[in-house]
């Protein structure tokens, strides 16, 4: 799914990365309770050393899914303008009825292994994320990397959902780029979710259609139900001797056709997982939008506070109160304050205004940087989305065509069996 493009190839230009295998383990959790979990073996090898004629040994280390979650949380907080690649699902979603939803199911664990490898490859290909030192530690140091992550203080920087929600409803002038990004993420989520639901329904129907072909096999190869241990006799062949071999062969073709659906739908899950990745990408897009709204909201609040401070300075200096305030009414009722008090308040306001102007400058620079980088990231992400979804859908269509051709071939072979009777 991940294509290595000629953009410097990021970390993948210097290192090979793969998740070689998954392993089920048991141990005690933080509550000292026994639990079963899965660990994944990450294998890395430096390729620039190989280019120099050296052959370094590969590095191996085990990681749990929760460690991948910690890495992604760190990247999301540290790079708020980047659409950080999503992790594969922790538990199966959009499953058809014969597919196990157990997160310890071997097939599900294998698909998640592929998804986690895909996550690492996407991060390692990103022009910014691939240079992060925590990512390098995650890939090469089995112990101690969590402590380094916590020392960055990223958890303290994480924005609360309440603050983000407040900013969403109170920001005054959101950037057009981010309005379009939010609309795009909504459409991406809606379209991929509908596609996955439709595919799950089709898989259920298709499974039934294929399996019911096994009834043809049982009819063509109908064996005696007698409890006497005699050689099974085809009922039709008992009536029409010449039909026996042809019916037996046709029955075998039908049995093979009915059994083939299991492998077909397992292959389909691979393409469904590629679509699911972009379903989860939609939430990563919205996270970038929420960070922008929060950044702009903080800028607007700082600017508004600065305007209020300047207005207070003007009113105090001129003695003309332009807006109603309790303090203004107090002055009218009890007289103005002493000149010394007035000078002290003016000096305090001047200091607060200087601090406010500096805060606005910092917030404006932070806001502008986020806008510029996020819009560029959005452009890159759209190109990636178009390329990946086109490839996934084309491959899915090719697989469906191949499946139909195999079905035609089975019925053609069955026809030949009938013609030979």
**Tokens encoding 202:** 């089709």
Query: How far is residue 259's CA from residue 276's CA, in Å, rounded to a whole number?
Result: 27
Return the domain boundaries, the chain: 1-167, 189-317+339-420
Residue 38 backbone dihedrals phi, psi, to 5 degrees: -115, 135
Using pLDDT thresholds of 50, 70 and 90, give the confidence band for residue 14: confident
pLDDT digits (tens, 9 = 90+) for 42-56: 999 888 755 566 667
Using pLDDT thresholds of 50, 70 and 90, give the confidence band for residue 98: low
CATH second-level architecture of 1-167? 2-Layer Sandwich (3.30)
**Is 111 within 8 Å of 88 (Cβ atoms)?**
yes
134: Cα separation from own chain's centroid:
20
Looking at residues 213-232, what average pLDDT do you find? 62
pTM over 0.75: yes
pLDDT above 70 for 222: no
Looking at residues 100-116, what average pLDDT do you find? 84
Angle CA(206)–CA(208)–CA(212) in degrees, nearest 5? 120
Which of 6-10, 227-231, 243-247 is predicted with the least confidence, judged by mean pLDDT? 227-231
Return the pLDDT at 171. 76
Using pLDDT thresholds of 50, 70 and 90, give the confidence band for residue 236: low
pLDDT above 90 for 17: yes
Query: How far is residue 308's CA from residue 328's CA, in Å, rounded to a whole number?
Result: 15
Using pLDDT thresholds of 50, 70 and 90, give the confidence band for residue 227: very low
pLDDT digits (tens, 9 = 90+) for 383-419: 999 999 999 999 999 999 999 999 999 999 999 988 8
Q: What's the chain's average pLDDT?
A: 83
Which of 1-10, 186-195, 243-252, 312-321 is predicted with the least confidence, judged by mean pLDDT? 1-10
Superfamily holding 189-317+339-420: Arfaptin homology (AH) domain/BAR domain (1.20.1270.60)
Give the chain as a 3 state SS string. CCCCCCCCCHHHHCEEEEEEEEEEEEEECCCCCEEEEEEEEEEEEEHHHHHCCCCCCCEEEEEEHHHHHHHHHHHHHHCCCCCCCCCCCCCCCCCCCCCCCCCCCHHHHHHHHHHHHHHHHHHHHCCCHHHCHHHHHHHHCCCCHHHHHHHCCHHHHCCCHHHHHHHHHHCCCCCHHHHHHHHHHHHHHHHHHHHHHHHHHHHHHHHHHHHHHHHHHHHHCCECCCCCCCCCCEHHHHHCHHHHHHHHHHHHHHHHHHHCHHHHHHHHHHHHHHHHHHHHHHHHHHHHHHHHHHHHHHHHHHHHHHHHHHHHHHHHHHCCCCCCCHHHHHHHHHCCCCHHHHHHHHHHHHHHHHHHHHHHHHHHHHHHHHHHHHHHHHHHHHHHHHHHHHHHHHHHHHHHHHHHHHHHHHHHHHHHHHHCC
Which is nearest to 298 in space by CA: 226, 362, 222?
362
**Tokens encoding 329:** 């009414």
**Stronger pLDDT, 5 or 161, i.e. the higher one:** 161
| Share of residues in the chain with pLDDT > 70 (%) | 81
Using pLDDT thresholds of 50, 70 and 90, give the confidence band for residue 4: very low
pLDDT above 50 for 225: no
**Stronger pLDDT, 116 or 293, i.e. the higher one:** 116
Return the pLDDT at 229. 47
Query: How far is residue 331's CA from residue 344's CA, in Å, rounded to a whole number?
Result: 17
Query: How far is residue 31's CA from residue 280's CA, in Å, rounded to a whole number?
Result: 30
Return the pLDDT at 226. 38
């Amino acid at each position: 799914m991940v294509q290595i493009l000629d953009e410097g190839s990021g970390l993948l230009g210097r290192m090979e990365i793969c998740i070689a295998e998954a392993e089920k383990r048991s141990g005690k959790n933080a509550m000292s309770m026994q639990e079963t979990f899965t660990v994944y073996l990450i294998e890395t090898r430096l390729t620039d050393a190989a280019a120099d004629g050296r052959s370094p040994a590969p590095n191996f280390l085990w990681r749990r899914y929760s460690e991948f979650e910690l890495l992604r949380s760190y990247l999301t907080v540290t790079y708020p303008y980047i659409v950080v690649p999503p992790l594969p699902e922790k538990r199966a979603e959009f499953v058809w009825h014969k597919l196990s939803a157990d997160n310890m199911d071997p097939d599900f664990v294998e698909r998640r292994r592929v998804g986690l490898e895909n996550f690492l490859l996407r991060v390692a290909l990103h022009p910014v994320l691939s240079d992060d030192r925590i990512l390098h530690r995650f890939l090469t140091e089995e112990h101690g990397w969590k402590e380094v992550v916590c020392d960055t203080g990223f958890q303290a920087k994480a924005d609360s959902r309440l603050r983000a929600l407040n900013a969403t409803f109170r920001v005054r002038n959101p950037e057009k780029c981010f309005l379009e990004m939010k609309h795009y993420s909504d459409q991406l989520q809606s379209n991929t979710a509908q596609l996955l639901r439709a595919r799950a329904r089709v898989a259920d129907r298709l499974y039934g259609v294929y399996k019911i072909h096994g009834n043809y096999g049982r009819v063509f190869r109908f064996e005696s139900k007698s409890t006497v241990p005699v050689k099974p006799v085809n009922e039709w062949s008992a009536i029409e001797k010449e039909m026996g071999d042809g019916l037996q062969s046709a029955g075998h073709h039908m049995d093979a056709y009915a059994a083939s659906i299991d492998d077909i739908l397992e292959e389909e899950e691979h393409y469904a997982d590629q679509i699911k990745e972009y379903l989860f990408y939609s939430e990563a897009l919205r996270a970038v939008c929420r960070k922008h709204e929060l950044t702009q909201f903080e800028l607007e609040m700082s600017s508004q506070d600065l305007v209020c401070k300047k207005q207070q300075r003007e009113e105090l200096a001129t003695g003309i109160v332009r807006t109603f305030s309790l303090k203004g009414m107090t002055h009218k009722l009890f007289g103005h304050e002493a000149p010394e008090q007035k000078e002290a308040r003016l000096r305090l306001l001047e200091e607060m205004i200087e601090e406010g102007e500096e805060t606005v400058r910092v917030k404006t620079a932070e806001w502008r940087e986020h806008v510029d980088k996020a819009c560029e990231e959005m452009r890159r992400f759209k190109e990636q989305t178009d390329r990946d979804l086109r490839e996934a859908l084309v491959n899915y269509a090719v697989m469906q065509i191949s499946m139909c051709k195999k079905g035609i071939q089975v019925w053609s072979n069955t026809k030949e069996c009938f013609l030979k009777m």
